[in-house]
Amino acid sequence: MKKFLAQTYLWILLILLYAPLIFIAIFSFTEARVLGNWTGFSTQLYENLFTGNVNGSASLISAVRNTFIIAIVAALISTVLGTLAAIGIHNLRGRKKSTMLFLNNIPMLNPDIITGVSLFLLFVFLRISQGYATVVLAHVTFCTPYVVLSVLPRITQLSPNTYEAALDLGATPMQALWKVIVPQLRPGMVSGFFLAFTMSLDDFAVTFFTRGTIGLDTLSTFIYTDARKGGLTPELRPLMTLIFLIILILLVIINVRQAKQQNSIKNK
């Protein structure tokens, strides 16, 4: 009985969490412009999404492209900057180290509207015209701390001897870094990269304040402007449905693989 109640509770929560997503998915299979009107089954919206020949869907596709380009570039820069910083911070002592860690925490604790407004004021102050570059810079600002925090524990686990051994065996410091240190840090860098990537994909407020007036749109700002104009571009429905399916499939694959790995460890 207790178990039944417990499971009912979890199921109700899950149904409520997924209701809007299922709602979008169902109405992606009809042509009506307004979400919630059913005008018969149709895959027209999916066709529009892929051919991009309907008024709204071309700018939607470019918004999706911008979102991914910005996320990849920002995540790459953050990973390099953050990994270097993590190695540096690890070798710092005392006051300097705690100052760096404190600074690193600020962007994570700042709400995104503050990050957005403050960077907006910076670009206005320096008279930098806002667009692609400023959005990427802004994203690097709030993504890098996550890379630092995912690489730092890896460095702490490193044995300093491996690096010394490489040097003793005749490697230059650069070689020792590339062939010995970086491979050991790779898991931390990879998880940092993906963390930065998802933070950037998800962002709305920071992009909103730093994209300037050149008409640069990411998915979030596109949806925001669209909704304020009244009436969402209907092609967003199939797009969201597809994104949801892709994430679901990715997670299932990752989990199955993890479960298999754990099983094989147990069997050994």
Partner 1 sequence: MSKRHNWSIPYFVFMVLFVVLPLLLVAVYAFQDGNGRFTFANIVRFFSDSNALSTFALSIEVAIENTVLCILIGYPAAWLLANRKYNRSAVTIILFILPMWINALMRTLATAELFNILGVQLGKGTLLYGMVYDYLPFMIYPIYTILQKMDKSYAEAAEDLGATPSQVFWKVTVPLSMPGVRSGILMVFMPTVSTFAISEFLTNNKIKLFGTIIQENINSSMWNYGAALALIMLLIIGISTLFNKNDGEEAESSLI
| Nearest distance, CB of residue 58 and partner 1, angstroms | 19
Nearer to partner 1, 69 or 248 (CB): 248
Q: Specify the residue for token string 């909704």.
A: 227
* Long-range contacts of the stretch 19-25 (C-beta < 8 A, 24+): 21/240, 21/244, 24/237, 24/240, 24/241, 25/237, 25/240, 25/241, 25/244
- The distance of closest approach from Cβ of residue 78 to partner 1 in the complex, given in angstroms and rounded to an integer, is 10
| DSSP structure string for 104-141 | HHHHHHS-HHHHHHHHHHHHHHTTPPPSHHHHHHHHHH
Q: How far is the CB of 33 from partner 1 (least distance, A)?
A: 13
d(CA 59, CA 236): 11
Measured from the CB atom, is 70 or 209 closer to partner 1?
209
Q: How many residues does the chain have?
A: 268
Task: Give least dist CB 124 to partner 1, A.
Answer: 7
